[in-house]
Amino acid sequence: MTASFYQDKIIAITGAASGMGRSYATLLAQQGAKLLLSDVDEEGLNETVALASVLTSPENIVTMKMDVSSTEHWQAFKELALSRFGGCHMLINNAGIEGAAKPVWASSEAQIKQTMDINFYGVVYGCRSFIPLLVKQDWASIVNISSIFGFIGTPNASDYCASKFAVRGYTEALMVELAHVYPQVQVHLVHPGGVDTDIARSERTAKFKHKFLTTPSDEMCQVVLDNVIINNPRIIYGNHAKKTYWLSKLLPLKQLKKIIAKGLALVDKNEYSREHQGFK
Ligand SMILES: NC(=O)c1ccc[n+]([C@@H]2O[C@H](COP(=O)([O-])OP(=O)(O)OC[C@H]3O[C@@H](n4cnc5c(N)ncnc54)[C@H](O)[C@@H]3O)[C@@H](O)[C@H]2O)c1
């Protein structure tokens, strides 16, 4: 039997307590990787460990309760990688939240800031903390998770879209920079379409979740792992992903706006009143 590409690779994953983070963890456990799993949700993280431990030796798994928006936590996560495994080959910046799920005028500044702190700055802090470890390897990879909402702006998701556009811009710049100095460190930008996870947790987004979040999480993550092996920098997969990408590339915004407006049928429209406080 040929060894898996990921056998013995040291791989750090954020947001590993649920959804795609859990899928990466179990798929990579199966392939003999050494895993550093983190999440704010300790209970979910323990469930992931229970699932992954059946597939690999327990010594291959290390966990940390961690908030990606904290630079102190990132420092501790990096130190854990060094002390337990002596370094790191791959960082999957996967943790994320759905955000306010409200129109611009109804989203609070605190919520917008939280979305940016987790979805964008979490990725920034992750890259900055782990790059010094990754450049020491003969092969390494950074996998940053954007979204198809990193291609288009959709109703009730302005903060989420802003965070995912930001991840895209940051990662596209990083991949050019690093290739110049450390070409063995691959950088990947992932744009999942609708993937069946618990990201849309609120009742406000239930209709959206039911209609769009349909691609199985394991399938999505296996495609990402396969594309990392072939060093594909932009990975677009999942329900509506390719279609959204091409429409965003080819259509003038005037036409694109009309198509995106159909998404209004799926959002909670309680705040779409001229009487809303946000207009006063
Ligand atoms: N599900 C989709 O359709 C979809 C589509 C495009 C992009 N994405 C992105 O994929 C990534 C994974 O999302 P998912 O769909 O698996 O959702 P999920 O909610 O199932 O998993 C996200 C995980 O991130 C964790 N998390 C949240 N805030 C955190 C913080 N501050 N620090 C550390 N961990 C934190 C959560 O506890 C959770 O375990 C996210 O970045 C999301 O934006 C998801």
The candidate with the shortest Cα–Cα distance to 171, out of 151, 184, 158, 190, is 190
The candidate with the shortest Cα–Cα distance to 14, out of 83, 101, 77, is 77
pLDDT single digits (tens) 47-77? 999 999 999 999 999 999 999 999 999 999 9
Query: Rounded to the nearest whole angstrom, what is the distance from the C-alpha of residue 130 to the centroid of ligand 1?
Result: 20
Superfamily of domain 10-271: NAD(P)-binding Rossmann-like Domain (3.40.50.720)
Query: Rounded to the nearest whole angstrom, what is the distance from the C-alpha of residue 170 to the centroid of ligand 1?
Result: 19
Return the domain boundaries, the chain.
Answer: 10-271
- Per DSSP, 157 falls in state -
CA distance 245 to 151: 6
Q: Which residue of 199, 220, 236 sits with most ligand 1 atoms within 8 Å of its CB, as the best mutation to test the pocket?
A: 199
The pair of three-digit structure tokens given for residue 152, joined into one six-digit string? 């288009």
CA distance 176 to 183: 9
Q: Which residue has its alpha carbon closest to ligand 1 atom 31?
A: 67
Task: Indicate if ligand 1 lies below 6 Å from the C-beta of 171.
Answer: no
Task: Indicate if ligand 1 lies below 6 Å from the C-beta of 194.
Answer: yes
Query: Rounded to the nearest whole angstrom, what is the distance from the C-alpha of residue 152 to the centroid of ligand 1?
Result: 19
Q: 5, 229 in Cβ contact below 8 A?
A: yes
Question: What's the count of helices (H) and strands (E) in the chain, helices before strands?
Answer: 10, 9
Q: Which residue has its alpha carbon closest to ligand 1 atom 37?
A: 41
The residues annotated with a catalytic role in the active site are: 160
pLDDT single digits (tens) 82-139? 999 999 999 999 999 999 999 999 999 999 999 999 999 999 999 999 999 999 999 9
* 10 has a pLDDT exceeding 90: yes
When pLDDT is cut at 50, 70 and 90, the band that residue 202 belongs to is confident
* 186 has a pLDDT exceeding 60: yes
Given this model, what pLDDT does residue 2 score? 61
Task: Indicate if ligand 1 lies below 6 Å from the C-beta of 8.
Answer: no
* 1 has a pLDDT exceeding 60: no
Query: Rounded to the nearest whole angstrom, what is the distance from the C-alpha of residue 93 to the centroid of ligand 1?
Result: 10
The fraction of the chain above a pLDDT of 70, given in percent, is: 99
**77: three-class secondary structure by DSSP:** helix
Q: Which residue has its alpha carbon closest to ligand 1 atom 19?
A: 199
Four-point Cα dihedral 189, 72, 11, 114, nearest 10: -40
